[in-house]
Structure 1
Amino acid sequence: MKILVCCGNGLGSSFMIEMNVKKVLNELNVEAEVNHADLASAKGIPSDLYVGTRDIASQLEGLGGEVVSLNNMIDINELKNKLEEGLKKIGKL
């Protein structure tokens, strides 16, 4: 399973979220390849699950994977809840 964390322009915020995604996946005992990218690059990286903040989530729709939209990129509880929901939707949890 592949998870791609995306941010609008740079890579800083997506890298921070990627680290938190890995932490949550470890707690859930779920194995996945997790990477991060800017929005423009995301279109060329097929993934099962795309994670992004709500301002870019609509742009991730249609890329072929489930989209997890975060309201607050530093809220680990929101990330865990929404990631669990997304993993259930794709049958990985």
Structure 2
Amino acid sequence: MVLEDNMKQLKIMVVCGFGLGSSMVLKLTLDGVLKEAGIKAETFCSDEATSRGERFDIVFTSQPLVHLFANIKQPVIVISNFLSKDEVRTKGLEIIRQLSED
């Protein structure tokens, strides 16, 4: 695996209701996908209330919270199974690569 050093390091926010349990599970899954793909990114967890004041390039969340991000310009990736590397890879990896190259 070769890390892609010429890519911009993104800030990826992972959001759940309280910013602890399910967002941490999704963050760990996302971190694994990024590592396997050789992409460097800063991933961090946030809760429903705090997420509005955070700076980020892309957000991963669940369907019940997607309404929080209805008026933002950054991509919002909705994940159903927070343990599924395949779902994270399929829904988010190409968008992450595109943003990293901008």
* CA shift in 2, pair 1:3/1:57, >3 Å: same
- One-letter code aligned to 2:44: N
- Count of residues in correspondence between the two structures: 92
**Which stretches in structure 2 are left out of the alignment for 5+ residues?**
1-9
Instruction: Tell me what 1:69 maps to.
Output: 78
- Report the CA distance between 1:47 and its aligned residue: 0.4
Q: 2:22 aligns with which of 13, 19, 32?
A: 13
Structure-1 residue corresponding to 2:40? 31
Aligned-residue Cα RMSD (Å) equals 1.7
Q: Which moved more, 1:34-43 or 1:53-62?
A: 53-62
Q: Deviations over 1:42-69 (max 9, x none)?
A: 1011100100011112312324421101
For 1:86, the equivalent position in structure 2 comes to 95
d(CA) in 1 for partners of 2:19, 2:31:
20
Q: Higher RCO, 1 or 2 (CA under 8 Å, sep at least 6)? A: 2
Give the structure with higher Rg (CA). Answer: 2
Change (3 A) 1:86 1:39: farther
- Distance (whole Å) between structure 1 residues aligned to residue 17 and residue 55 of structure 2: 17
Shift of 1:11: 1.3
Is residue 53–residue 71 contact of structure 1 (8 Å, CA) maintained in 2? yes
Q: Secondary structure at the match of 1:87?
A: helix
